[in-house]
Amino acid sequence: MQKRQLGNSDLNITSVGFGAWAIGGGGWEFGWGPQDDSISIEAIHRALELGINWIDTAAVYGCGHSEEVVAKALRNWSGERPYVFTKCVLRWDVNGKIFQNYSPESLRQECEDSLRRLNIDVIDLYQLHWPPDKDETLIDAAWEMMARFKEEGKVRWIGVSNFNIEQMKRAQKNCPITSLQPPYSLISRNIESEILPYCEEQNIGVIVYSPMASGLLAGAMTRERMENLPAEDWRLKWDEFKEPKITKNLELVEKLKVIGKKHNITTGEIAISWTLKHPAVTGAIVGARSAEQVDGVMKAKGLELNDDEIIALETHFS
């Protein structure tokens, strides 16, 4: 699989990485419902067999559980260890309710906890998961601590997730940013006009998440399936899974299916390939909850869509 250099780092990552959000399971505010760990481990192994060389997780996914599952999968993997990316600043209470803690002391504890759960000596990419809710001055001390982790050898490179340009500029005053992790898909394109050009200009790598819009554009989602999602699946609260948006979104899925059939690849791979065509995008984070799902979406290599196909997809919501 094609590899690209991630921003100012020495990491050469495959165009697709394994996203470990959903395998965190249920029992927390943004869970995807029950998940069998053994099936999750099979999914990770299958992705690595296909040549994927990075896994993206976060401390908050499953309240630490996703990191533990990744560790179990790597413990039983005989091949070369993939890069491991994780995130911080989102903490949780006993009920799985999520809150932010931007204090350097909290970040220190989170870093140590992630290293322990992942059972690794160094985190390849450590990311601030979300910008501060209110006081953006909190970025200053937090980013200084992230730079300190790098100096101490606890992490190799540091990045941000969901930051806007002004927030990135604030962090850059103290230490360069290696990467940005924003949402990006055919139904979420607001980073195109300013954020992606800025990252390209600043040599900040971009690893996009939810290129299939959290499964909506994977090809298997139907109204019936939505109605039968587990009650704790966070997507039930998402506007894209509700009217008036869902009808238009499912119509887009049908367009993706037609193009996928023409190129003999899956609907999800078309959606992922569309995100990879942007020159500022280094890679796409692709989640999967089983080896079968991995086979259906993790072979995307940046398919060259023709002009008519691009126009049909990009003007769908016009």
Contact between 169 and 199 (Cβ < 8 Å): no
CB neighbours of residue 185 within 10 Å: 21
The pLDDT confidence band at residue 279, using thresholds 50, 70 and 90, is very high
Residue 191 structure tokens: 């980073």
Can you tell me the distance from the alpha carbon of 286 to that of 159, in angstroms, rounded to the nearest whole number? Answer: 19
Residue 266 and residue 120: Cα distance in Å, rounded? Answer: 35
Q: Quick check: 159 pLDDT over 90?
A: yes
8 A C-beta contact, residue 149 and residue 111: yes
The helix (H) or strand (E) run that includes residue 69 is helix 65-75
**Cβ partners under 8 Å of residue 301, min gap 6:** 1, 2, 15, 273, 276
**DSSP track, 104-125:** HHHHHHHHHHHHHHHT-S-EEE
In a 13 Å sphere around the CA of 256, the CA atoms on its Cβ side amount to: 26
Separation between Cα atoms, residue 140 and residue 243, nearest integer Å: 41
Virtual torsion, Cα 15, 205, 184, 84, nearest 10 deg: 60
pLDDT band at 300 (very low <50, low <70, confident <90, very high): low
B/e letters for 245-268, b = 16+ CB within 10 Å, e = fewer, are ebeebeebbebbeebbeeeebbbb
Domains of the chain: 3-215+273-302 (3.20.20.100)
With CA atoms as reference, report the closest residue to 87 among 55, 142, 125: 125
Segment holding 293, helix H or strand E: helix 291-297
Q: Is the pLDDT of residue 237 over 70?
A: yes
Active site residue ranges: 61
* pLDDT for res 199: 98
Summarize pLDDT for 43-102 with one digit per residue, the tens: 999 999 999 999 999 999 999 999 999 999 999 999 999 999 999 999 999 988 999 999
